[in-house]
Amino acid sequence: MRLILLGPPGSGKGTQAQRLVHRHGIVQLSTGEMLRAAVAAGTPIGLQAKEIMANGGLVPDSVVVGIIADRIDEPDAKKGFILDGFPRTVPQAEALDELLRKKHLKLDAVVELRVNESALLARVEKRAEETRARGEEVRLDDTPEVLTKRLAQYRSMTEPLIHYYSERRKLLTVDGMMTIEHVTREINRILTALGALEPKEHEEPKAASRAAKKASKAAKKTTRKPAKKAAKKAAESAKKATRPAGKATKTASRAKGAGKGAKKAAKQPAKKAAKKAAGAANARKGAKVAKKATKKLTKKRAKR
């Protein structure tokens, strides 16, 4: 992760930079500290800067960029870095872009801590009053007068960077008037959303768990409704499909009953006819027997 923090004096850049360094294992690169380290180490760029500063001159952008180039090549900067105090002007930002391009590195984001200047001045005045009340001496760089000058300098020199990085879609603005904890959470949230940070496994497990549960519930609801609808439709279709079969069964049952009735009806006249025929046969047989008996009786009478 490669990051720039922007914001006026007193906006909390230093505090948030240290928190990012501690959490993500990256390094904070302060131009002032890098210049002093380069001078102490006696590097070619450091010696050049030493000579310029000894003559009371301002270190040119080319020298500062050279010191940054050397510093980001060191092993501890491989994982990422936060630039603090650089760039301060648009030309410095352009020089930094060129440096990163040559090194095939990408600037992930520029985080602007936006604050209310009148609130900052009120805060400094209160701090100065409390320091005097304790009988302590107020720091020369921690007075409303000094802060007013530094804020004016920031507006004239550094604020154009907001437009510069906004055009390149690198600028992310955070409300610097929130509590330190809220500002830290917001910076981490937007950097994670950008993909510049990977959330650590041991941090915020509850939040991750809640997010996973919500996603799971949403997925279940999404799948349950269509499944229920499909099951209902299938049941209705099956019911409709069985209705004609039921009608056919009833019709077949009725036809079967009718067949039995017809068979029964057909059987009854046949039985009656057979009975009558049997009766008629018996009557003829009886008539024959009676006739024979009559003949025998007539013969017997004649003999007498």
How many Cα atoms sit within 13 Å of 44 on the Cβ side?
3
Spatial distance between the Cα atoms of 232 and 245, rounded to a whole number of angstroms: 20
C-beta separation of 63 from 52 below 8 A: yes
Angle at 90 between CA 87 and CA 95, to 5 degrees: 65
**Peptide bond between residue 269 and the one before it cis (omega within 30 degrees of 0):** no
Residue ranges of the domains in the chain? 2-26+79-203, 228-304
Residue-wise pLDDT tens digits, 186-237: 999 998 888 766 555 444 444 444 555 565 565 555 445 555 565 566 566 6
Q: What is the pTM of this model?
A: 0.58
| Per-residue pLDDT at 127 exceeds 90 | no
Q: What is the pLDDT of residues 33-89, one digit of tens each?
A: 888 888 888 888 888 888 887 777 778 888 889 889 988 999 999 889 999 778 988
User: Hey, which residues are catalytic here?
Assistant: 13, 88, 127, 139, 150
| pLDDT of 90 strictly over 60 | yes
> 2-26+79-203 is classed in which CATH architecture?
3-Layer(aba) Sandwich (3.40)
Q: Which residues contact residue 149 at a Cβ distance below 8 angstroms, ignoring those fewer than 6 apart?
A: none
Q: Is the pLDDT of residue 299 over 90?
A: no
DSSP 112: E
pLDDT at 238 over 80: no
